[in-house]
């Protein structure tokens, strides 16, 4: 199940539910699908360097990216807590 190739409709739901991203079909032809990934500010998301390390073709890919984001957010939160603590120690 983790390695089953996802349909575009499934990817759309996962992007929105897990990350708040929009996965939009921008093709103008009926027989063709061209998708663009937009972040919360409706900016194209593929420009981020870290995104190129993830394929987003399977559930496993989505979960790996979720882990990546959690690691970054955890590091940022820890940095902020350390900075706040240092303010109290070294006013």
Name residue, tokens 């120690």. Answer: 89
| pTM for the model | 0.75
Mean pLDDT, rounded, for 25-34: 80
pLDDT tens digits for range 44-65: 776 555 666 788 999 999 999 8
Closest C-alpha among 29, 24, 26 to residue 42: 24
Name residue, tokens 């900016």. Answer: 43
Neighbours of 23 (CB within 10 A): 20
Neighbours of 46 (CB within 10 A): 10
Average pLDDT of the residues of the chain = 85
| Domains in the chain: boundaries | 8-89
């Amino acid at each position: 199940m983790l390695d089953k190739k996802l349909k575009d409709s499934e990817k759309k739901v996962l992007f929105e539910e897990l990350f708040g991203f929009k996965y939009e079909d921008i093709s103008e032809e009926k027989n063709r699908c061209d998708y663009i990934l937009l972040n919360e500010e409706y900016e194209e998301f593929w420009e981020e360097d870290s995104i190129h390390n993830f394929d987003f073709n399977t559930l496993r890919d989505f979960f790996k990216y979720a882990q990546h984001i959690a690691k970054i957010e955890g590091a940022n939160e820890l940095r902020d807590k350390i900075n706040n603590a240092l303010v109290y120690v070294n006013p």
